[in-house]
Amino acid sequence: MKKILLTGVNGQVGYALQKKLSQHQVFALNREQLDLSDKDAIRRLMQALKPDLIINPAAYTAVDKAESEPELAYTINAIAPQILAEEAAKLNAALIYFSTDYVYDGSKIADYLETDAVNPLSVYGKSKLAGEEAIRAVGLPHLILRTSWVYGAYGKNFLKTIIRLASERDSLRIVADQFGAPTSAESIADAVMELLAVWQPQQANQTGVYHFTNQGKTSWHGFSCAIVNEYNRLAVIKNEDLLKASVENIAAITTADYPTPAVRPANSTLNNRKLKQTFNVSLPNWEQGLQQVMQSLD
């Protein structure tokens, strides 16, 4: 049994993790209990609680808004993890930090490996990479888990937006030239639990960066079609109304047709082989992850 400090419990990953960590002693903290923009509060809390392990899914995740709030994004995504890492090092504790596929520029055709060059295109991606670098510089035992396109039954996310839009409108227009792996918060939490059973933080060769996504790849358009298909399949079984927009009415558009403040990588599919080889842990295929989440929706 470990003494774990878990941040961001009102976020998608934090919420999913909190539900699964019951066999450990967990200090599960929301923003009111630990504001990560308050450095002194982080230090005070770490010194008072003395955890063995810090799991930090809390983050500034508003990718487009970060372009106009870079300082706040860096404070939460880079400075707060650095302070958590410094305090953890004093306690001989370990740290799990979640990072992002947006550390890559997306120009690679094949799946990204952890050894590939990073080159974030957005403030969000840069701030998360700065968090990774700060943790590495402190030098404590850590796992940096780069995940992608996170959604789940709980919280605000792309899946919820598509279901809402497809229930209100006859047709949708969705970007079809950005590729990655939609990853459910539930799959992430399951895989973290498996990791906790096998990770030996004092083994220096296990410390490092790991890709941590559901398997396979699709585009936002492909993901949207799968969401609508799965929703309607379950609606038939439950004898409920189908969505207004059918898959045939989801138009495939380009990134140029849908300009956003933050530039996103065209391909951010992450190869998870290192995770499998080091820990024998893997996340399911993204379609399987989607089915699980859809079945758990109210």
Ligand X SMILES: NC(=O)c1ccc[n+]([C@@H]2O[C@H](COP(=O)([O-])OP(=O)(O)OC[C@H]3O[C@@H](n4cnc5c(N)ncnc54)[C@H](OP(=O)(O)O)[C@@H]3O)[C@@H](O)[C@H]2O)c1
- Which positions touch ligand X (CB under 6 A)? 8, 10-14, 31, 34-37, 57-61, 76, 98, 100-101, 128, 147-150, 155, 185
Q: Which is nearer to ligand X, 162 or 235 (CB)?
A: 162
Cβ within 8 Å of residue 90, ≥6 positions away: none
Q: Which is nearer to ligand X, 175 or 238 (CB)?
A: 175
Cβ within 8 Å of residue 11, ≥6 positions away: 57, 58, 59, 61, 155
Q: Which is nearer to ligand X, 63 or 243 (CB)?
A: 63
Return left, alpha or beta for 280; rule: phi > 0 is left, psi -120 to 50 is alpha, else beta. Answer: left
Other beta carbons within 10 Å of 118: 19
Q: Which is nearer to ligand X, 68 or 92 (CB)?
A: 68
Q: Which is nearer to ligand X, 55 or 93 (CB)?
A: 55
**Integer angstrom CA distances of residue 6 from 2, 30, 106, 144, 184:** 12, 9, 31, 15, 19
Residue 61, burial from CB neighbour count under 10 angstroms (0-12, 13-18, 19+): buried
Task: Provide the minimum distance between the beta carbon of 228 and ligand X in the complex, in angstroms, as a whole number.
Answer: 20
Task: Provide the minimum distance between the beta carbon of 248 and ligand X in the complex, in angstroms, as a whole number.
Answer: 27
Q: Which is nearer to ligand X, 70 or 246 (CB)?
A: 70
Give the CA-trace dihedral at 185, 268, 281, 61, to 10 degrees: -30
Task: Provide the minimum distance between the beta carbon of 240 and ligand X in the complex, in angstroms, as a whole number.
Answer: 27
Task: Provide the minimum distance between the beta carbon of 179 and ligand X in the complex, in angstroms, as a whole number.
Answer: 14
Cα 187 to Cα 217: distance, rounded to the nearest angstrom: 15
| Catalytic option among 97, 104, 112, 124 | 124
Q: Tokens 């396109």 map to which residue?
A: 149
Cα 20 to Cα 41: distance, rounded to the nearest angstrom: 26
Cα 83 to Cα 43: distance, rounded to the nearest angstrom: 7
Task: Provide the minimum distance between the beta carbon of 128 and ligand X in the complex, in angstroms, as a whole number.
Answer: 6
Q: Which residue is nearest to ligand X (CB)?
A: 11
Catalytic annotation on 124? Answer: yes
DSSP classification of residue 78: I
Task: Provide the minimum distance between the beta carbon of 124 and ligand X in the complex, in angstroms, as a whole number.
Answer: 8
Closest CA to 63 of 130, 121, 113: 121
Return the active site residues. 124
